[in-house]
Structures are given as structure tokens and as C-alpha cells.
Amino acid sequence: MKIQPTPMNSSPNTFTQQLQSAWALQGSMLCVGLDPDTARIPASPQGKPLGIFEFCRDIADATADVVCAFKPQFAYFASQGAEDQLEKLIRHLKDRHPQIPVILDSKRGDIGSTAEHYALEAFERYGADAITVNPYMGSDSIAPYLKHHGKGVIVLCRTSNPGGSDLQFLNIASDGKPLYLHVAELAAKKWNASGQISLVVGATFPEEIAKVRAVVGEMPLLIPGIGAQGGDLNATVQAGRISNKPGTGMMINSSRAILYAGQGPDFAERARAVAIETRDALRAAAQ
Amino acid sequence: MKIQPTPMNSSPNTFTQQLQSAWALQGSMLCVGLDPDTARIPASPQGKPLGIFEFCRDIADATADVVCAFKPQFAYFASQGAEDQLEKLIRHLKDRHPQIPVILDSKRGDIGSTAEHYALEAFERYGADAITVNPYMGSDSIAPYLKHHGKGVIVLCRTSNPGGSDLQFLNIASDGKPLYLHVAELAAKKWNASGQISLVVGATFPEEIAKVRAVVGEMPLLIPGIGAQGGDLNATVQAGRISNKPGTGMMINSSRAILYAGQGPDFAERARAVAIETRDALRAAAQ
């Protein structure tokens, strides 16, 4: 089957411009992660089983005015053979909520023509505005995505999980700094000619967010790990803030705490309530 | 859409047992990479356009008696919305060539329930025998795959591309050794309780293959970079060999040089001829 590329986003804005607009217009640094775990999806308001698309759509429609980004997680669609529902979801998001950038969280890491095919998948097939990528294979695993004008490339730097320290926290002999800071420096100083790179830094390590911020200037940070993973929201915002530009610079992700806030027919309202609470807590912390 | 899990492989063998058998029975260390680039797929023998599945099937059927593994590359299917053809291809490989282990090359790198969903995708949805994974997120990005009894987990170590040096060749302060050797040590000494881990080491760096071999004992190595990427075949085999066990220890991958050996209706025969030539060259180098 040959698929038709998704029509180009009608907005001429780059990912970082979309993000700047969303921070300003929405007054929010909250990113809602769309991780539809079929074992946890509640029944529909009518009591019927709810599909992956319908669940994500209802959560997105209920939270679109309180977020700066949506982040569908590829694995939850792939394990269910639900690529068609991911296509439909991103089309819905771009149609109904064009002001909100969409990040495809698939943490790709490959090179040359293989990476070019992943870029086609993310940006043409699915129509995402940005993709997450893994830096282990270096510059030629990042470049193929940057060729797609205006698309965002969000590079793993310091991840929120305990095992992240296995490699990322090893100190490098040349300067004694840990690997994740070398990734931050490569991203900021060598790879970011287009200005479309962001970095992933986990909320579970606020001190390290501050160190990354010191290296990368105003580069946007995607920060997972608040909510279910237990990262400290206030410490995170203080560590990642851009002085003089409060309310910008971060996409702070929450997935499970919002998606599964309710298990009844009011799940979307419950999700909205937790999203508003989280947005407000992030706002307060940014003051 | 809920998909049915692929029936369990009827063989009770683990991935490394399958590989040992394939090395012995097939007398080959050649792995054929199935990277179906639609821009390069030749016409069918009848002159009609050839689908992704049909192309890969014909290549596989023409080379199955000269390889130790097949390695479909996920990106080429994903960019075309051809997941159904990938499912069909792996079912065909397991039906027709059950003696050949199938590696899903998708270089996954994620944690917790997300990684569990990637494992379901690889091993249940697609029925692969092994998967490639990225070590940047550490132990908890490897563990979810190892929970699937007998399935192979092939961890990126020293990749074949120039940019691989950006991170992998940084020396670590504690012992002055480069990052990729730390990955080899973590894989061999901490992560491999099940014995199902292999490592990716590029043929473009034979000296580094030898260093990895010295660290990991008899662990299998998946070696890309011969053929189109220009790695030295003799140097590769000498560097990666297990002394006293010639003809084992490596899955040496070639993709484009075999897949696109011919552009005419005889493409499968041409692919077979290059595969035989490569297998024989690997055999000769292993003496």
C-alpha cells in the first residue's frame, strides 16, 4: 500500500514559532502525552468500549485550551497495529487545534536513508510538527530530520528514568563533564543551525535541568517525569526557566496522571480538571 | 483495531540457539538486511510494479539457504504505511524458512510500559526472534525486552556511521576507555543474565570490533557496514572471530549490495549470486 502524504500544515510557522505562540496564547507550559494503554482506557460515556482514536481525541478536545503541545507516544499505537488511528488522531489535532504543535514521540535513532524514511513517516505520513530522537548514533542520525524545513527535532539528553544514569551520567575524560552535558553542547553548538532543536531533560533531575539550561540558552526543553513519575514540579520550573521570559522555554509533559484521572464516563472532564490544575501549578511556579 | 498476536514460534529455541544452529547448518555468517526502498525496487519478472512484500519475499526465498539471519528494517515499511506487509513478510519467513532467525531492526529506545509496548509489537504482533535497541536510556530500556523468554536483544554499541564517534568514542574519565566499550561491558557483565543479548558493531571499525570481542567473550555481534558502506570484510572477520569456533559469533549484514544487485527481472537471481559470493568471502576470511 502506498499512502498519500498528509497535506502540508497550512501554517508556515516553524515548530519553535508554533511553540512560542502556544506559550503566549495559551499561557501554558503543559504538554499532554497521549499514551493510550488499551488496558486502561475507560468505557465511553455511553458505556461502550472506546477505541484508541476516540479516547485520545476526547482527551485532546477536553484539554486543548490548557496545553502548549500534544505528544502522542508511538509505542501504544504500534503494539496494537493502530497506525491508522494515529494518522487519524494527528489529522484531527491539526484540523481542530491547529494552534497546538504535535510531537511524535518515537525516539528514532538511525542514519542515512533509514533516518530519511523515519522523517518521511513522522512528517509526511503522520503530519507531526516535531519528533523525538536518540543521540547515540551522533550527527548523521539527527541531520535527516533537520532537512525537513521548520520541523522540530527533540533530542534525548538526560532522561527521567533511573537507568538513564548508566550512560548519561558517565563523566567524559576531556573535561570531567557528564555525557548528557556533552549532548547538550553538541545540540546547542554544532547541530542546531536551523534553530529547530529541543532537548529532553527529565523532571526527576532538576539540578541537571539547570545545568542543561545554562549550556543551551533559550533552547526549548521537553520535560517528562512530573505526575506519575513523581518529579518535583516547582523545582523543575525553577531549574528550567528562562530569566525574563517566564512561562516559556519548557514543554512539561504529563501523560498517565491526566489520561487516567477518571475511569468513568466523565474521564474527559476529569482529565481536563487535572490538566488545569497542572497548568496552574506550573504557572504559579514560574512566577 | 485489536490485532491477534502472531502464534508462538513452534521452535522452543532461544534466539542464540537459533543462531548457533543457523551458523552450523547453513555454514554462513551472512545476514541479509531487508530494506525495501520503493524508489529502487525493480519491476516483477512479468514487468509489473512489485510490492514491498513481494520484493522482500523473493529476495528472502532466493537467499535463505546462504544466510544465518534476516533483518527487516522497520523504517522502510513505516514510511510507506506498510506495516501489514511487514507482518506478512515475517509470517512468510517463519513459515518457509523456520531455521533462519528474524531480527526486527527498529532500534527502539524507551522505558517502562512504553518499552513493554514495543516488545509486544516486535515479538507478538510481528513475531520477530530479536530486536535492535539503543542503550542511551540504560538498563531499564533493555529489561522489558529480556522479559520475553528466549527473544534476542541486540544493543547498539559502535555503529558504522561517521557520526557514531560523536558520543561512542568519547573517553570516560573513570578508566579512559571510550563509551562504546562501557556499553559492551554493561551488556556483557550486567545486562545479560539471560544470555540473549548481542551487540551491534560496525564493519567500518575493525579495530574496535576486536576490542569489543575481547570484552564480551562469545557474545554474538551484528555487524553492518560491509557492501555498500565499504567496510573491509577480511579485517572484520579477523577482528570479530571466536578462536576455535570459526564460522560463528557474527551476523555480518549486507542490505543494498544484495537487494539491488540487479534491476531487471532476474533481480532475485542476481541477489542470490551476490549473497553466495559474500558468504564465500566470509567463509574464506574465517579460515
pLDDT value for B225: 87
CATH number of the domain enclosing B175: 3.20.20.70
Q: Rounded to whole angstroms, how far apart are CA atoms A86 and B117?
A: 15
Residue B153 and residue B145 in contact, taking contact as beta carbons nearer than 8 Å: yes
Task: Read off the pLDDT of residues A222-279 as tens digits, 9 standing for 90 and up.
Answer: 999 887 666 689 999 999 999 899 999 999 999 999 999 999 999 999 999 999 999 9
The number of C-beta contacts closer than 8 angstroms across A and B is 193
CA distance B122 to chain A (A): 8
Residue B12 lies in a domain: no
Look at residue A6 and tell me if it is in a domain. Answer: no
Q: What digits encode the pLDDT tens for the residues A212-222? A: 999 999 999 99
The structural domain count of chain A equals: 1
Q: Look at residue B2 and tell me if it is in a domain.
A: no
Active-site residue, from B107, B147, B151, B245 = B107
At B74, the pLDDT band (50, 70, 90 cuts) reads very high
Q: What ipTM, to 2 d.p.?
A: 0.94
A172: which chain B residues are within 8 Å (Cβ-Cβ)? Answer: 170-173
* Cβ-nearest to B138 among A37, A107, A161: A161
- Put simply, the answer to whether B80 touches A1 (Cβ < 8 Å) is yes
pLDDT greater than 50 at residue A52: yes
Would the CB atoms of B138 and A168 count as touching at under 8 Å? yes
Whether B207 and B196 have beta carbons less than 8 Å apart is answered as: no
C-alpha distance from A58 to closest chain B C-alpha (Å): 18
Confidence at residue A73, expressed as pLDDT on a 0 to 100 scale = 98
In the predicted structure, residue A7 carries a pLDDT above the cut 60: no
- Nearest CA-CA distance, residue B120 and chain A, Å: 6
Partnered with residue A223 across adjacent β-strands are A252
Does B20 map to a domain? no
Q: What domain range is B133 assigned to?
A: 25-286
CB atoms within 10 A of CB A30: 26
Which residues of chain B have a CB within 8 Å of the CB of A134?
107, 109, 134, 136-137
**DSSP secondary structure, B25-74, as one string:** HH---EEEEE---TTTPPPPTTSS---HHHHHHHHHHHHGGG-SEEEEBH
Label residue B229 by pLDDT band (50, 70, 90): low
Residue A2 lies in a domain: no
**Residue B3 pLDDT > 50, yes or no?**
no
Residue from B152, B150, B8, B145 nearest B71 by CA: B152
Best mutation target among B40, B87, B117, B123 (most A Cβ atoms within 10 Å) is B117
What confidence tens digit (pLDDT) does each residue in A74-128 have? 999 999 999 999 999 999 999 999 999 999 999 999 999 999 999 999 999 999 9
| pLDDT beyond 70 at A139 | yes
DSSP state of B193: T
Residue B11 lies in a domain: no
Which stretch of DSSP H or E encloses residue A29? none
**pLDDT for residue A282 is more than 80:** yes
Read off the pLDDT of each residue in B92-113 and give the average, rounded to a whole number.
97
Q: CA-CA distance, B141 to A66, in Å (whole number)?
A: 31
Amino acid at B77: F
Q: In B192-224, which positions are buried (b, 16+ CB within 10 angstroms) versus exposed (e)?
A: bebebbbbbbbbbbbebbbbbbebbeebbbbbb
- Residue A38 in any domain: the answer is yes
Interface test with A, best of B80, B137, B160, B253 (most A CBs within 10 A): B137
Residue A162 pLDDT > 80: yes
Query: Which residue did the predictor score with more confidence, B205 or B253?
Result: B253
Please provide the average confidence, as pLDDT, over all residues in chain B: 93
User: Has residue B9 been placed in a domain?
Assistant: no
- What string of DSSP letters covers B125-186? IS--SEEEE--TT-GGGTHHHHTSTT-EEEEEEE-SSGGGHHHHTPBBTTTS-BHHHHHHHI
pLDDT digits (tens, 9 = 90+) for B12-56: 699 999 999 999 999 999 999 999 999 999 987 777 889 999 999
- pTM over 0.90, yes/no: yes
List the grid coordinates of B174. 573513570
